Amino acid sequence: MDLLRGTVVVVSGLGPGLGRSIALQSARAGADVVLAARTADRLAEVAKEVTALGCRGLAVPADITDAESAAGLVEAALAAFGRVDTLVNNAFAIPPLTSLAEAGLDTLREALDTNVIGTLRMTRLFAPALAASRGSVVMINSAVLRHSRPGFGGYKMAKAALLALAQSLATELGPQGIRVNSVAPGYIWAGSLQWYFGYLARQRGVTAEQIYQETAATTDLNELPGPDAIADAVVFLASSLARAITGQCLDVNAGEFHH
């Protein structure tokens, strides 16, 4: 598939799970990829994987909560490739997983600084390049938008603010030809969730497979998507197939929630 052939994709928040999958699926679709995160070693490893797929990978250590560091990322991307076609805002700081009545306000503020303000900073900095390419922005959101379970108030507050940001930017940047969309994953069957299911299994004295089957049964497809399935939705929204789609949030959750 060459959906992104000849384009440049910037991925912020490059972790070992979804961030890596977004980078590699973008490369498999033909894009050169700029990789941004605070951990330099991980960036270098994924850049090598991108190169092995026949595309160029540029690793740029960056902190999106720091204005100078974020500006340096833009400069590095344009110096290397001369253009940017898609910005994927994947950087995320986990808010305190407790009730809003008990969550520390400073901790909540720090999470919002990364999840919302940092994302806005990145989008504003890349907007001129995206306008030149008539490109797009993809925000990585969460299925937490669709429920209000105890302990997830701070998480939902951050992601709801991110959704509002994406929708507002779609309206504001649309006249420049920039599309802004969101992807909201549910469970992602990867390292951290696999570890957690193993922990639950040990606590209950059952197998991890039983925990998986019980959880998967809450979805229409009776399965939990892996990170590549989420990344494929990002590639779609970045591609010309989605050229008339903006301001939308695409849920990728195997049917756990309907929206």
| pLDDT score, position 196 | 92
Contact 61, 111 (CB under 8 A): no
Check residue 1 and give its pLDDT: 72
Strand-pair category, 8-12 with 57-61:
unpaired
Using one digit for the tens of pLDDT, what is the confidence trace for 191-226?
Answer: 889 999 999 999 999 999 999 999 999 999 999 999
Mean pLDDT of 244-254: 98
CATH 3.40.50.720 residue window(s) in the chain = 8-188+228-252
Structure tokens at 237: 């929204």
Nearest by Cα to 155 from 103, 118, 231, 191: 103
What would the two tokens of residue 230 be? Answer: 């989420």
Contact 82, 33 (CB under 8 A): no
Q: Is 61 within 8 Å of 43 (Cβ atoms)?
A: yes
Q: What is the rounded CA–CA span in Å between residue 156 and residue 207?
A: 30
Single-letter residue type at 67? A
pLDDT single digits (tens) 5-61: 999 999 999 877 999 999 999 999 999 999 999 888 889 999 999 999 999 999 999
Mind telling me the catalytic residues?
155
Q: Which residues partner with 57 through β-bridges?
A: 33
Is pTM beyond 0.75 here? Answer: yes
- CB atoms under 10 Å from CB of 259, counted, come to 10
Q: Which two tokens stand for residue 43?
A: 């960036």
What's the pLDDT at 119? 97
pLDDT number for residue 93: 85
**Model confidence over 128-147: pLDDT tens digits?**
999 999 999 999 999 999 99
CB-CB contact of 183 with 234 (8 Å): yes
**170-184 burial string, b = 16+ CB within 10 Å, else e?**
beebeeeebbbbbbb
Please identify which residue in the block is written with the tokens 């305190």. Answer: 96
CATH code 3.40.50.720 for 8-188+228-252: yes
